[in-house]
Structure 1
Amino acid sequence: LAVLMSGLISLHPTFPSLATWEARRGRTDAGSRSDMTDVLEAKLTKRGRFRGDRKWTISQSGTCGRGVFATCDIASGELVFADLPILHGPKQSCDLVACTSCSDITRPLRKCSRNCHLPFCSERCENDESHNKECCYLRSLNLTEEEWSPHIFRALTLIRSLLMTDDDREVVKHLHANRGKQVDIQVSSLLSLLGNKLTETDVSWVRHCSGVLDGTAFEIELEDSANSLKGLFPLSALMNHNCVPNTRHFYTDRADGYRMVVVASRFIPRGEQIFTSYCPLLWGTSLRRTFLLHTKHFQCECERCQDASEFGTNLQAVKCSCEKIMLPEDPTNFNSEWKCEDCGGLRSAKHNIMVQKSLQNPNELDKFLPEGNYIRIQMKIDEVFKKTKRMHLEDITEEELRNISHDCIMILKLIVQLKLGNTRFKGRLCERLSKVYREMNRKGVHMDSQVEHDAVTGARVYNLPK
């Protein structure tokens, strides 16, 4: 929070609203919406991922420009759609360099024997069919690198954008592209690498793709790896953000093309817009909106963001000097004063940011932040997952097991209160709760009836399939 917001506290709140940002995406008439739907349907059909009984359509949203809407009732847990990436590759800002084909970061890397200057972990990966086109292109540029190049590796996603088929380009042309400093930096980095080897048309196309990736790309999480990729999914790119989304998603493996599988996290009635979230769901409003402003260049104004208490959870509340809680008077204004619910005392947003920024000692948290503050919630989550990471929990004391069980139940109730539905995080948390409860049973740990009831309920009701 301190890092993201410290640069904003002196600014006048004139940042673009979600409606303004969506307007920049281009408000389309009925004809162009139909064209967009047709283009995407043709794209998905060609890739073998589209069925005639689709559950979505692209339509105009009252305040959010273009969006994806349900064409039928969709039950919680039901597949909404599966989307293959039209473009994927390393993030340009990534610190880790991995194998170009399999993304493995644990094995030694070597330069492609055909001299395209990309790194590979094995001959098998180097000879992967997916590498052929980019290898031929890079060799045609006659680059002077002697070994494999981390710079070429980090620019690979934009390089791949130059190799798109005409069908893929037609889809990407329909997607919103951000403009700004970050896009300029990425394009300049590629130009410094490839120099005068790109035509004006190439540069224009790369700039558009960079803007599209900046605004609509998703992070592809790789199983059992600290590495991740950036992926552009054509239909998913049209889903709008909401801090109370009605879907969750996961990714299949490389063999299946890194498919993004979107599933309803709660019941979605026909005609309702299909939302995703661009940020972590258990962050407080100020942090979520600041993150969205910096990364997606708009301010969210959803129902949750407009409610200072975030549906009664008081997730971003801080303590007043009278020990009661303070919340912003206007949660959609970064410079709003914060008011105590009891004594009516006021405090500036800048003061609250500086207080949280100075909290270096965990023992100071209780003095300034109530137990339900999102910073303390995140600390509980980190502790739960750290202590239950091992397969067996024999070394965890009975008191620690009780504390973990209590924290799991508290966080699960918070998820319910925030109306977040059956999220992937909820499922992961319930798996840990089930593991803890089994160990408590094995050790014969006594729990009061309410805690035991909550643990059983959490394990049975909230535990989700992958």
Structure 2
Amino acid sequence: MEGTSKSAAVPTLKYKIRYSEKLGRYLQAATDLQPGEVIFREEPIVVGPLSCNRNLLCFACMSLLPPNEEEEQYFCTKCDVVPLCGSACEEHPRHHTPDECELFRTNEDVLKKNLCYITGYISSILMILRFWLLKKRDPKLWERVRSMEAHLEKRRGTEEWEDRETNIINMMKSLSLVPYDDPSVSEILQLMCAITDVNSLELRPPGSTREALYLRGLFEKTSLLSHSCRGNLHLTMNRDFKLTVHASVPIKKGDIICFNYTSPLLGTLSRRQHLRKTKYFECDCSVCRDPYELGSYISTILCPRCRKGYLGMEDPLTKFPYERKWKCDNCEHHMAGYLVKTTLNLCKSLLNDDTRDAKELEILKKKLLKTLHRNHFLVVEVKQKLLATYRLEVVKPNPNKRSMENMLNVCKEMYELMEIVEPGISRHKAILLFELHLPIVSLANQAHCRQEISSIELAPRLEEGASILKKSLAMLLLQPPDTPEGALAKRGLEKLKALNTTISDVKALSQLEQLTVRERRRLHKHK
């Protein structure tokens, strides 16, 4: 059984639901868990677009729609009212529910009058609309959903509250999708918005490699997972949005099961601000408490006095970091927070241009490194752009040697950082390792072709690349085959097979090269 102990005669859950004043309800490991082990699987309660997407998504199956000027092809083939889906969605398991289609059919006249207006906004209300229909369709499930953390009172009167009232609730009322004159409707819809904002996960549309396009889904058990900026989970999802929760590192019985609600490549200030604004709590995990973020130095700047150490926040958990002093980890020099803020703003201003090529990005990186740690999140942003340019170079028949050397160094630095901020199994690390093996193999082959190294020296360098690729595949193969990472795993398996064949050939050649002239003659005569 999924998410249960295999050895038990009676299936036993690998987690327990606990409660504390600080965390609320959370999941605790009921047994020791190993990296890669499945803790549980579950399907979403509801899925919807994260933001307004005009003619980009099929709102039934959440697949990307091809560009097409004939908007009629995007109409729901069931209710033929608004541009919700196309004929390709008919057989999809997440096609509109009958009550959803019926609601649009019933309000056909109102929707057609507002068609031009709602095309760009229907995605914003779709997820909440599906919650509204769920409440009527499955009251027992709705009662479980409404028990999720919502922080409703903290949201009341805020910008988020007013935004949802204007752009979702009033929109649904004006389109007659919910009762207009019932005062209790607004409160219920605000609760649904709050539950969605606090508990939903960001998802990528099936088959999409475009990181800018996201959906969101609500999962019952997953909503109980606690946060840590250095979590112990690895989440995977197939094209039908079925979620699988794996242990990413060894988890001991009794440990809290948690994952990172934010990006591991954000600095402490950005992570804590995001959590404060969207999840309504102050993170005080081990990463946030450490001025130097467990040695990742992802928010630090070079000390202007000793030029060896780095300045970190003296009081990382404060809400006003630039009103406090920052301290060097080498000479203990203190610097006013407002000066740190000015320095960072100057560095940020250098990143505005998105049209830089590899050479310009490398120059920019050198400039930033005069002020920032090599792992600083602004430097990491430049490194990610650099990797995008190196990917274009590495696929060429004869990649530029300097670019491959730079790609090798950037991948190594990024991987070392990820080992700190996201230990264990990680999608980011899997992709980095895949990219790391490419310049290792390319540089080795180039050096051999130029006769800079012998076949004897080539083999171990190729074996190093194969070893790194295997580490990547160990993580990528946890991903469903219908995801971009799953496709990368398939490609990686093909590359590993070809690489192993090359290694065998190189070893055979090196053995032949080591034979004496007499031994070669004997071998030839024997053949």
Name the TM-score, length of structure 2 as normaliser: 0.71
What is the CA-CA distance between 1:159 and the residue it aligns to? 0.7
Name the residue aligned to 2:382. 379
Deviations 1:122-157 (A, max 9, x none): 334368653532121123234232456222232111
Among candidates 219, 223, 226, match of residue 240 of structure 1:
226
| Structure 2 CA distance for aligned equivalents of residues 118 and 259 of structure 1 | 27
Query: Residues 331, 454 of structure 1: CA spacing in aligned structure 2 closer, same or farther, 3 A cutoff?
Result: farther
Name the residue aligned to 1:133. 99
Query: Residues 280, 229 of structure 1: CA spacing in aligned structure 2 closer, same or farther, 3 A cutoff?
Result: same
What is the CA-CA distance between 1:62 and the residue it aligns to? 6.7
Whether contact under 8 Å (2:441, 2:465) holds in the other structure is no
> Is 1:55 aligned with 2:45?
no
What is the CA-CA distance between 1:58 and the residue it aligns to? 0.8
| Structure 1 CA distance for aligned equivalents of residues 440 and 49 of structure 2 | 40
Name the residue aligned to 2:7. none
Whether contact under 8 Å (2:37, 2:247) holds in the other structure is yes
| Structure 2 CA distance for aligned equivalents of residues 115 and 62 of structure 1 | 48
What is the CA-CA distance between 1:395 and the residue it aligns to? 4.8
| Structure 2 CA distance for aligned equivalents of residues 96 and 420 of structure 1 | 39
| Structure 2 CA distance for aligned equivalents of residues 419 and 153 of structure 1 | 33
Structure 2 SS opposite 1:263: strand
| Structure 1 CA distance for aligned equivalents of residues 394 and 127 of structure 2 | 37
Among candidates 121, 124, 127, match of residue 157 of structure 1:
127
Whether contact under 8 Å (2:394, 2:439) holds in the other structure is no
> Is 1:112 aligned with 2:76?
yes
| Structure 2 CA distance for aligned equivalents of residues 431 and 132 of structure 1 | 44
Q: How does 1:219-258 map to 2 (within 5 A)?
A: 219-222=202-205, 223-226=207-210, 227-254=213-240, 258=241
Amino acid at match of 1:122: G
| Structure 1 CA distance for aligned equivalents of residues 384 and 90 of structure 2 | 40
| Structure 2 CA distance for aligned equivalents of residues 369 and 95 of structure 1 | 40
Instruction: Number of aligned residue pairs: give it.
Output: 416
Deviations 1:337-372 (A, max 9, x none): 112234443323333223222223336413321223
Which of 417-426 and 242-251 deviates more? 417-426
Q: Which has the larger radius of gyration?
A: 2
| Structure 2 CA distance for aligned equivalents of residues 351 and 453 of structure 1 | 49
What is the CA-CA distance between 1:393 and the residue it aligns to? 4.2
Name the residue aligned to 2:143. 170
> Is 1:72 aligned with 2:31?
yes
Name the residue aligned to 2:341. 353
Which of 164-173 and 70-79 deviates more? 164-173
What is the CA-CA distance between 1:299 and the residue it aligns to? 1.7
Whether contact under 8 Å (1:133, 1:163) holds in the other structure is yes
Amino acid at match of 2:38: L
Deviations 1:179-213 (A, max 9, x none): 32314412332232233642344333221111011
| Structure 2 CA distance for aligned equivalents of residues 99 and 462 of structure 1 | 33
Whether contact under 8 Å (2:444, 2:461) holds in the other structure is no
What is the CA-CA distance between 1:438 and the residue it aligns to? 2.7
Amino acid at match of 1:150: G
Q: CA RMSD in A?
A: 3.1
Query: Residues 211, 116 of structure 1: CA spacing in aligned structure 2 closer, same or farther, 3 A cutoff?
Result: farther
| Structure 2 CA distance for aligned equivalents of residues 379 and 139 of structure 1 | 50
Name the residue aligned to 1:22. none
Whether contact under 8 Å (2:169, 2:189) holds in the other structure is no
| Structure 2 CA distance for aligned equivalents of residues 191 and 341 of structure 1 | 51
Deviations 1:236-266 (A, max 9, x none): 1110110110001121103xxx111111111
Amino acid at match of 1:105: L
Deviations 1:404-450 (A, max 9, x none): 11221222222223462221111111111123323233323679999
Whether contact under 8 Å (1:107, 1:121) holds in the other structure is no
Amino acid at match of 1:290: Q
What is the CA-CA distance between 1:83 and the residue it aligns to? 1.8
Whether contact under 8 Å (1:177, 1:208) holds in the other structure is yes
| Structure 1 CA distance for aligned equivalents of residues 57 and 382 of structure 2 | 31
Deviations 1:269-305 (A, max 9, x none): 1111110111111222122112222222222100111
Give 1 or 2: higher helix fraction: 2
Name the residue aligned to 1:327. 312
Query: Residues 92, 315 of structure 1: CA spacing in aligned structure 2 closer, same or farther, 3 A cutoff?
Result: closer
Q: How does 1:45-444 map to 2 (within 5 A)?
A: 52-61=11-20, 63-94=22-53, 97-102=56-61, 103-108=63-68, 109-110=71-72, 111-112=75-76, 117-120=81-84, 122-125=86-89, 129-141=95-107, 142-143=109-110, 144-146=113-115, 149-164=119-134, 165-179=138-152, 180=155, 181-195=159-173, 197=176, 198=179, 199-222=182-205, 223-226=207-210, 227-254=213-240, 258-322=241-305, 323-324=307-308, 325-333=310-318, 334-335=320-321, 336-359=324-347, 360-361=349-350, 362=364, 364-388=367-391, 392-418=395-421, 420-444=423-447
- Return 5+ residue gaps in structure 2 as ranges: 5-9, 351-363, 480-527
Query: Residues 94, 351 of structure 1: CA spacing in aligned structure 2 closer, same or farther, 3 A cutoff?
Result: farther
Amino acid at match of 2:198: G
- Return 5+ residue gaps in structure 1 as ranges: 1-40, 46-50
Deviations 1:49-70 (A, max 9, x none): xx94321121024742221111
What is the CA-CA distance between 1:95 and the residue it aligns to? 6.5
| Structure 1 CA distance for aligned equivalents of residues 81 and 393 of structure 2 | 40
Whether contact under 8 Å (1:118, 1:153) holds in the other structure is no
Query: Residues 232, 343 of structure 1: CA spacing in aligned structure 2 closer, same or farther, 3 A cutoff?
Result: same
Structure 2 SS opposite 1:68: strand
Q: Between the two proteins, what is the percent identity of the paired residues?
A: 21
Deviations 1:39-91 (A, max 9, x none): xx9xx99xxxxx94321121024742221111111110111111211111112
Amino acid at match of 1:431: F
Amino acid at match of 2:166: S
